[in-house]
Amino acid sequence: MMNHLFNAIVIVVLVGTVVMAPWPQSSAPSVASRPSETAAISSAIESAAAKAAIEACGYSEVSMLASGTDGTWRAKAYRGAEEVRLTVDGAGRVSAD
Protein backbone atom coordinates (compact mmCIF):
# COMPACT_ATOMS: atom_id res chain seq x y z
CA MET A 1 0.00 0.00 0.00
CA MET A 2 2.89 2.36 0.76
CA ASN A 3 4.22 1.83 -2.78
CA HIS A 4 0.85 2.80 -4.24
CA LEU A 5 0.70 5.92 -2.10
CA PHE A 6 4.23 6.90 -3.04
CA ASN A 7 3.54 6.27 -6.75
CA ALA A 8 0.43 8.45 -6.55
CA ILE A 9 2.39 11.26 -4.90
CA VAL A 10 5.13 11.09 -7.54
CA ILE A 11 2.59 11.15 -10.38
CA VAL A 12 0.80 14.16 -8.89
CA VAL A 13 4.11 16.02 -8.51
CA LEU A 14 5.14 15.24 -12.10
CA VAL A 15 1.78 16.32 -13.50
CA GLY A 16 1.93 19.47 -11.38
CA THR A 17 5.39 20.26 -12.73
CA VAL A 18 4.17 19.99 -16.32
CA VAL A 19 1.04 22.02 -15.65
CA MET A 20 2.92 24.77 -13.80
CA ALA A 21 5.76 25.03 -16.34
CA PRO A 22 5.73 28.43 -18.06
CA TRP A 23 4.96 28.67 -21.76
CA PRO A 24 7.49 30.55 -23.94
CA GLN A 25 6.61 34.21 -24.42
CA SER A 26 7.07 36.12 -27.66
CA SER A 27 8.78 39.12 -26.04
CA ALA A 28 12.44 38.64 -25.09
CA PRO A 29 12.45 40.46 -21.70
CA SER A 30 9.79 38.27 -20.09
CA VAL A 31 11.42 35.08 -21.39
CA ALA A 32 14.71 36.15 -19.81
CA SER A 33 13.05 36.54 -16.41
CA ARG A 34 11.31 33.14 -16.47
CA PRO A 35 14.21 30.70 -15.84
CA SER A 36 14.83 31.85 -12.26
CA GLU A 37 11.11 31.60 -11.45
CA THR A 38 10.96 28.10 -12.94
CA ALA A 39 14.03 26.97 -10.99
CA ALA A 40 12.50 28.12 -7.70
CA ILE A 41 9.19 26.38 -8.39
CA SER A 42 10.88 23.18 -9.53
CA SER A 43 13.08 23.05 -6.44
CA ALA A 44 10.09 23.49 -4.13
CA ILE A 45 8.20 20.67 -5.84
CA GLU A 46 11.17 18.34 -5.61
CA SER A 47 11.62 19.15 -1.94
CA ALA A 48 7.95 18.46 -1.26
CA ALA A 49 8.15 15.15 -3.13
CA ALA A 50 11.23 14.07 -1.16
CA LYS A 51 9.55 14.93 2.14
CA ALA A 52 6.37 13.11 1.07
CA ALA A 53 8.39 10.02 0.14
CA ILE A 54 10.05 10.01 3.56
CA GLU A 55 6.73 10.41 5.37
CA ALA A 56 5.14 7.70 3.19
CA CYS A 57 7.79 5.29 4.48
CA GLY A 58 6.65 5.85 8.06
CA TYR A 59 9.09 8.53 9.22
CA SER A 60 8.00 11.69 11.03
CA GLU A 61 9.40 15.10 11.96
CA VAL A 62 11.43 15.43 8.73
CA SER A 63 14.08 18.14 9.10
CA MET A 64 17.34 19.34 7.57
CA LEU A 65 16.08 18.41 4.07
CA ALA A 66 18.80 19.36 1.59
CA SER A 67 19.48 18.46 -2.02
CA GLY A 68 22.77 16.96 -3.10
CA THR A 69 24.65 17.71 -6.30
CA ASP A 70 23.86 14.21 -7.59
CA GLY A 71 20.06 14.68 -7.47
CA THR A 72 19.58 13.01 -4.10
CA TRP A 73 17.97 14.51 -1.02
CA ARG A 74 19.27 14.06 2.52
CA ALA A 75 17.27 14.58 5.69
CA LYS A 76 16.88 13.76 9.35
CA ALA A 77 13.65 12.21 10.58
CA TYR A 78 12.28 10.05 13.35
CA ARG A 79 10.95 6.52 13.34
CA GLY A 80 9.39 6.25 16.76
CA ALA A 81 11.84 7.82 19.21
CA GLU A 82 14.92 7.05 17.08
CA GLU A 83 16.49 9.81 14.96
CA VAL A 84 17.57 8.53 11.55
CA ARG A 85 19.54 10.11 8.70
CA LEU A 86 17.94 9.36 5.33
CA THR A 87 18.68 9.63 1.63
CA VAL A 88 16.06 9.89 -1.13
CA ASP A 89 17.46 9.02 -4.56
CA GLY A 90 16.29 10.41 -7.91
CA ALA A 91 13.74 7.60 -8.28
CA GLY A 92 12.20 8.40 -4.87
CA ARG A 93 13.65 5.42 -2.98
CA VAL A 94 14.24 6.18 0.70
CA SER A 95 17.16 4.59 2.51
CA ALA A 96 18.75 5.02 5.92
CA ASP A 97 22.38 6.21 5.95
List, for residues 61-92, the tens digit of each pLDDT value: 999 999 988 888 999 999 999 999 999 988 88
The boundaries of the domain holding residue 71 are 2-96
> What's the mean pLDDT in 19-32?
56
Q: What percent of the chain has pLDDT over 90?
A: 37
Domain count of the fold of the chain:
1
Which of 70, 93, 73 lies closest to 85 in space, CA to CA?
A: 73
Output the CA angle 18-21-26, nearest 5 degrees: 135
Query: pTM of the predicted model, to two decimals?
Result: 0.56
